[in-house]
Amino acid sequence: MTKVDGTVEQAQALDREDELAAFRERFYLLQNGIYMDGNSLGLCSRDAEQAVLNALQEWKTLGIDGWTEASPPWFYLAEELGKREAALVGGKPEEVIVAGSTTVNLHQLVSTFFHPQGTRTKILTDELNFPSDQYALQSQLLLKGLDPAEHLVLVKSRDGRVVEEEDIIAAMTDEIALIMLPAVLYRSGQLLDMERLTTEAHARGIVIGFDCCHSIGAVPHHFSQWGTDFAFWCNYKYLNAGPGSVGGLYVNERHFGTRPGLSGWFGYRKDRQFDMVHEFEPADSAGAWQIGTTHLLSTAPLLGSLKIFEEAGIDRIRAKSLRQTEYMMQLIDRLPVELGYSIGNPRDDARRGGHVSLEHAEAVRICKALKARHIIPDFRFPNVIRLAPIALYNTYEEIWRTVEALREIIENREYEAFATERGVVA
């Protein structure tokens, strides 16, 4: 983008040129506030709200017949949404299903693809991965009678912020049976080279999958083209499907016919599910990895949200996201050094996701001071302020005002009015 001059007039000019600006009006924005936390929980759209109201109306008027007569029928809702999400992960329509939750889907996929045999008894991940993923991997090892201290291999970070692909590849030894990594590291926003890592894993005969919670809806993926074995994600961050909304997963078609590690009746082939036989016959799609009945009211918002993504297009969303985060970083670069801010995320477009990882020794109190100004950030222990300009609803002027607030909070010592303890939910 053009050189940032630090003026609000430039921000306003960029907003006038924004081809995605109209989508902002489809979201419920904070009253007199700025929301920079869409990488943790996306804002509610009018489209998502209407989809929920439609589902409630169908429940009221159709009752149990909604399973076959709703639009779309509830019985096929997970498959329908999977087809629509496939474009966001670069999967074939039958390779994606909307079901479960992030950690349940991780358990499902690892229980399917982790088969310790001979010398291959270990799972490879990184030491900066999200704690829930670590807990699940530890659990899966314990279920196999393996000690996580020995069989969970954690690739070390050289600087506490990012993990180098070279270090991950070097750890792909003949003891590794499965690799599970984040597409984007939740704290620093580093985007891993998933294509390269998939190629290197497969060259060594290792199954590999990715946690895409911090990448789906912000970054294009090409899982079918890359041959990635599996992936999973939540739909409530960049995809704006509501708090605790149903998750999603991808399984490459070469694994169809494999019995899921955790079998349930919604993973049965759809045409015979109500035969009620006791011998499990998996669906011939990613639908086989469903476990239980579709959670209608926490799935419905995604119908509305995906409508927006289909209109905007993930490539245009990614392009604007990169421009906005670059603009924010250049504004931060202009702040006086003595204010103590530093950028902890990679600067290269190809190596960063959708948020800026801003570091400061007083991060906890700065976040509280921002919230007092009705600017919503996100704190991550010990010193990270995560700021996510969302392409669908944040403006350049909001970015400018956020960075101005960061400057004033330190210069005016506003942060000193707040306690150093973080909240229960950070």
- Domain spans in the chain, listed from the N-terminal domain onward: 8-32+314-414, 50-311
- The answer to whether residues 350 and 191 touch, using CB atoms and an 8 Å cutoff, is yes
Burial of 7 per CB tally in 10 Å (0-12, 13-18, 19+): exposed
pLDDT in tens, 304-322: 999 999 999 999 999 999 9
**The predicted structure's pLDDT at residue 239:** 98
- The answer to whether residues 320 and 389 touch, using CB atoms and an 8 Å cutoff, is no
If you search the block for the tokens 């709200």, which residue do you land on? 49
Confidence of residue 375 (pLDDT cuts 50, 70, 90): very high
Q: How far apart are CA 44 and CA 376, in angstroms?
A: 15
Q: Which residue among 24, 122, 237, 352 is the active-site one?
A: 237
pLDDT in tens, 216-256: 999 999 999 999 999 999 999 999 999 999 999 999 999 99
Task: List the structure tokens of 19.
Answer: 């081809």
CA separation (Å) from 82 to 194, 227, 275, 301, 306? 21, 18, 24, 14, 11
**The predicted structure's pLDDT at residue 182:** 98
**Mean residue pLDDT across the chain:** 97
Q: Which residue among 341, 365, 386, 415 is the active-site one?
A: 386
Mark whether 211 is an active-site residue. yes
Identify each DSSP E strand in 201-275 by its residue range. 207-211, 230-233, 248-251
Task: List the structure tokens of 66.
Answer: 């909604």
pLDDT over 90 (residue 360) = yes
Mark whether 130 is an active-site residue. yes
pLDDT over 80 (residue 186) = yes
**What type of residue is 227?**
G
Q: Which residue among 126, 211, 229, 378 is the active-site one?
A: 211
Q: Which residue among 230, 236, 238, 415 is the active-site one?
A: 236
pLDDT in tens, 46-101: 999 999 999 999 999 999 999 999 999 999 999 999 999 999 999 999 999 999 99
**What type of residue is 59?**
W
Q: How many CB atoms lie within 10 A of CB 348?
A: 9
Q: What is the CATH number of domain 8-32+314-414?
A: 3.90.1150.10
Mark whether 60 is an active-site residue. no
**What type of residue is 256?**
F
The yes/no answer on whether domain 50-311 falls in CATH 1.20.1070.10 is: no
- The answer to whether residues 377 and 371 touch, using CB atoms and an 8 Å cutoff, is yes
Residues tagged in the binding site annotation for pyridoxal 5'-phosphate: 102-103, 130-133, 211, 214, 236, 265, 293
Burial of 277 per CB tally in 10 Å (0-12, 13-18, 19+): exposed
